[in-house]
Structure 1
Amino acid sequence: MAGRSTPAEGRYGGKDAAQRQAERRARFLEAGLELFGGELGYRGTRLAALCKEAGLSSRQFYEEFHSLEDLLAELHLMVNDVAQQAVNEILPEVRDLPLAERIPRLLHAYVKGAAADRRHARIAYVEIIGVSPRMDLQRLERRAGWIDFLRTMGDDAVQRGELPPGDHRIAAAAFIGAVNGLMHDWVIGWVDASLEEIADELLQFLLGRYRITS
């Protein structure tokens, strides 16, 4: 999202204005990831602290973002994209495997993509909640995307004769709710488990729901 002013044109230090702007934006995103996804969290982070972490000025921040919420919004989309990419990368490898083999590999890929960097998990499952109606809508839109992904996977399994016909959107919504709840509690320390244990617990949820045996 564009900020309030336009950076100066021309070259400086061998880099043009677009390159310098991209680098500044990346530094603000990394600073936001570190602070929003760390002990301070989004609500505890002030602009001065963010700029200090990025090594840039508030004026430069407002060249890129209108507010800290704008930065949070971009980070939330970014960490969701990382998780989605982790799943997308493994899809070609598992597409032709039996369902009992596809599900574990896809689920472990998702959990690793979503939470291998704990800062990503904190932003996706904790910091985004209740910030504003805009952020709630963005969170729900991304959640709906994951539900549609799972529904499509279920429908494909029906076509292959691996699952009985049914409304797989209901099961997908229930599962995504379980993922969000468990990951939230893991991030804030209410659940003491490794990522492997988290993925295995979620796997049991799916296997039990569809009575799938390996």
Structure 2
Amino acid sequence: MSPVRPDAPAPRTPTPRTHDDRAAPDGDRLRTDATVPAPARTDADQAHAGREHRALRRERLLATATELFTTRGYPATSVERICGTAHVPVRAFYEEFEGREALLIALHNEVARAGMEATLTVLSDPRLESAGTRERITELGRAYAAAVTGETAAARMAFVEVVGAGRAVEEQRLLWRGLWSGFLTAEAERAVARGEAPPRDYGLAMVALTGAVNELVAHWTRNSASLSRELLADELVHHTLATLGIAADDTTAAGHPPDEGN
């Protein structure tokens, strides 16, 4: 062992390299624990976040309005009450809706559209293309009833609170009633062409049927605790078949047995 000279400088103890330091190619030290700046948000990111925020705000307004309209009543519910309950500024409300009527129309549209989409989904089944009228109407009626009564509060708003709510709302109701009357008239003409319903002009009959359907659903919303959705659906089917002159059993009103597909 070589002796150490007393006047020799003390040997340097090498500094251990920690996980925080590493040599860079240019000889500088890089710290791996340095905070890496987050990437800047692009205009597209900001626009997407803005749309999401606005959609959530709109849904909150719709949900709050549904609750208030069905508990306090539409006439007694102001825009300020809706905004205060939803914790949304009044200014933001008017960015989404022109006013309280426009909000009610949007709510009514959601329920009405759900009913129409449910029936169109049923009709997209190839099996119903050749099905008899009784089977076809039964499936359509049940699908419609399930769709529009999925949420009792929404159904009550769409079938009760809209009545007498203003001119614009009434025009919207009449628009949907016209669509349904035309839809049902087409079903009646199909039944006549198949020899399953007596031939006649069903236009006015379907206007009356549409009004009856609306009133039946409105009655159900007031008494949903004691009336099942299944009972409502069966009554809607019965009324439709009766309007078409088709008996509830296996015989048509004309006294002829149904087609094999019925």
Identify the TM-score tier after normalising by the shorter chain. Answer: 0.7 to 0.9
Q: Which protein has the larger Cα radius of gyration, Structure 1 or Structure 2?
A: 2
Aligned length: 204
2:235 counterpart (188, 201, 209): 201
Amino acid at match of 2:65: G
Residue of structure 1 in register with 2:201 after alignment: 167
Residue of structure 2 in register with 1:122 after alignment: 156
Deviations 1:51-87 (A, max 9, x none): 2332311121122122111111111112100111111
- Deviation, structure 1 residue 109: 0.7
- Deviation, structure 1 residue 190: 9.4
Identity of aligned residues (%): 34
Higher share of residues assigned helix: 1
Amino acid at match of 1:26: E
Residue of structure 2 in register with 1:82 after alignment: 114
SS at match of 2:88: coil
Residues 139 and 22 (structure 1), Cα distance of their counterparts in 2 relative to 1, 3 Å cut: same
Residue of structure 1 in register with 2:168 after alignment: 134
- Deviation, structure 1 residue 146: 0.5
Q: Show structure 1 runs of 5+ residues with no match.
A: 1-9
Q: How does the TM-score come out when normalised to structure 2?
A: 0.70
Residue of structure 2 in register with 1:211 after alignment: 246
Inter-partner Cα distance in structure 2 for 1:198 and 1:18: 39
Deviations 1:148-184 (A, max 9, x none): 0000111122222322321111221121121122222
- Deviation, structure 1 residue 30: 2.3
2:71 counterpart (39, 54, 65): 39
- Deviation, structure 1 residue 33: 2.4
Deviations 1:119-155 (A, max 9, x none): 2211221111111122111111111111000001111
Worse overlay, 39-48 or 139-148: 39-48
Q: How does the TM-score come out when normalised to structure 1?
A: 0.84
Residue of structure 2 in register with 1:27 after alignment: 60
Residues 14 and 166 (structure 1), Cα distance of their counterparts in 2 relative to 1, 3 Å cut: closer
Residue of structure 1 in register with 2:22 after alignment: none
Aligned: 1:178 with 2:226: no
Inter-partner Cα distance in structure 2 for 1:150 and 1:191: 29
Amino acid at match of 1:130: G
Deviations 1:101-127 (A, max 9, x none): 111111011111111211221122111
- Deviation, structure 1 residue 15: 4.2
Inter-partner Cα distance in structure 2 for 1:190 and 1:43: 23
- 1:185 and 1:191 in contact (8 A); partners too: no
Aligned: 1:55 with 2:87: yes
Q: Show structure 2 runs of 5+ residues with no match.
A: 1-42, 251-262
Amino acid at match of 2:246: R
